[in-house]
Amino acid sequence: MGWHTWAVRRVVGPLLGVPVLLLVILAGLTLVLDWAGPPGDAPATSATTSATAAPASSSPIPAAPAPDSPLDALVRQLQGFVERERGLRFKTPVKATVLDDAAFRAKVTATDDEDRKEIEKAQAILRAMGLLGREVDLVKAVQDFAGAGIAGIYDPETDELVVRGGELTASVRVTLAHELTHALEDQHFNLDRKDLGDEADYGFSALVEGSALRVEDAYLRSLSADERARARSEESVQAGKIPDNVPPVVTLAFGFPYAYGPGVVSALLKAGGNARLDAAYAKPPASTEQAIDPRRYLDDDQPRSVPLPPAGGAAFDDGEIGQLFLFLMLRSELSDDAARDGADGWGGDRYVAWRDGERTCVRMDFVMDNPSENDELVRALRDWAGKRRGAAKAAGTSLTTCG
């Protein structure tokens, strides 16, 4: 597992979360990456949902059920909505919990020693790529973003669904619809896929989040205008708690599946409706490139395998950069247009990282789709390295950078 998966997603483990104020995050991402087009002390409450059929008339008369809590009733209602929108049925009960702000924040920011070590690796590599300043503590930055910027989570390993909120407000209901979509798809397609590489993880996440956003948007549109306005207002208040000093790379990396997932799902639905969307879980998008341009995914334009480049010391990490992070790296020194031209036509890559005294060095080799795009990347890497004041060296479509 490589660095950019750890850099943002590892703090919340395998959790599938939905960020607050999605419209702001998505607008910022699509402008940058335009290739294709209330806290309180209330105790936690929980509910169990089930899609099992009613007993046959010959069955013994069951004991009277306990009265529904408000959350029980809401989750059951939302379960029916999600099933109708998604065209699937829940197989087993889903436990849903609403936590107050402090408890939710503690849950999504918990970081053990292994997590911390992996994020520190990512921090070193991002610095070498010019995407993170030396003054930034990436562990704290990711915790700050997750603690304020995530509205709900679903854990496909434990089947746990948790939403932030002391009351069942409009935004809590919208978030529950999103997370219940994850739970439903997990029961049918198994969303717990820890063996994915860097790029495949991003491609799969785009599929999963795009599907959940589709259902979330349908639920939001089913609300009255006043309820929609309240939901957005509640999200805006929570988003205002995200610290201003969270590095852009954290927001961009976390937000990517939400920005480009809807395009992937829209393309699948046009190609064959829910049946084509279901089939995609057997062979999901394999790269950020396929999420950025779903035509490449539908045409089965797969990333090419690239040999691991040689390290200049004892390697401590290797993996894939991908079109997204190639663009972000180039953009750290070049214009948006130059970075986009350099990253467009990405065909595959591999990187290796090692220590050089107090510095971290990263060597990355890229392949492109055609000679013209190869020339664009050669030019972009040369120009980027030239602005790094001796900290980077470009040779064709290979780059070595230290920091």
Note the pLDDT of residue 33.
55
Classify residue 48: in a domain, yes or no.
Answer: no
346/290 same-domain check: no
The answer to whether 78 and 98 are in contact (CB under 8 A) is no
286/328 same-domain check: no
395/257 same-domain check: no
Q: Is 127 exposed, middle or buried (0-12, 13-18, 19+ CB in 10 A)?
A: buried
Residue 309 CA neighbour count, 13 Å, CB half: 27
226/337 same-domain check: no
* pLDDT tens sequence for the chain (403 residues): 344 443 344 344 445 665 554 544 544 455 455 554 422 333 233 333 222 232 233 333 334 344 578 998 999 999 999 999 999 999 998 889 999 999 999 999 988 888 889 899 999 999 999 999 999 999 999 999 999 989 999 999 999 999 999 889 999 999 999 999 999 999 999 999 988 888 999 999 999 999 999 999 999 999 999 999 999 999 888 888 888 889 999 988 889 999 999 999 999 999 999 999 999 999 999 999 999 999 999 999 999 999 999 999 999 999 999 999 999 999 999 999 999 999 999 999 999 999 999 999 999 999 999 999 999 999 999 999 999 988 999 999 999 999 9
Note the pLDDT of residue 154.
95
Classify residue 161: in a domain, yes or no.
Answer: yes
Helices (H), 332-386: 336-343, 371-386
146/107 same-domain check: yes
The structure tokens 């948006």 sit at 336
Classify residue 305: in a domain, yes or no.
Answer: no
Classify residue 24: in a domain, yes or no.
Answer: yes
247/368 same-domain check: no
Note the pLDDT of residue 17.
61
Classify residue 65: in a domain, yes or no.
Answer: no
Per DSSP bridges, beta strands 359-368 and 16-19 are: unpaired
Classify residue 87: in a domain, yes or no.
Answer: no
Distance, in Å, from the CA atom of 16 to the CA atom of 353, rounded to the nearest integer, reads 28
Q: Which of 3, 17, 252, 14 is nearest to 117 (CA)?
A: 3
Note the pLDDT of residue 166.
82
Classify residue 47: in a domain, yes or no.
Answer: no
12/161 same-domain check: yes
Note the pLDDT of residue 6.
36
The torsion angles phi and psi of 317, rounded to 5 degrees, stand at -165, 155
Structural domain of 327:
315-402
342/282 same-domain check: no
Please report the DSSP string for 78-129 in residue order: HHHHHHHHHT----S-EEEEEE-HHHHHHHHH---HHHHHHHHHHHHHHHHT
Note the pLDDT of residue 35.
53
C-alpha dihedral sign at 168, 169, 172, 174: positive
379/266 same-domain check: no
Number of structural domains the chain divides into:
2
Note the pLDDT of residue 9.
44
Using DSSP, state whether 250 is helix, strand or coil: helix
139/208 same-domain check: yes
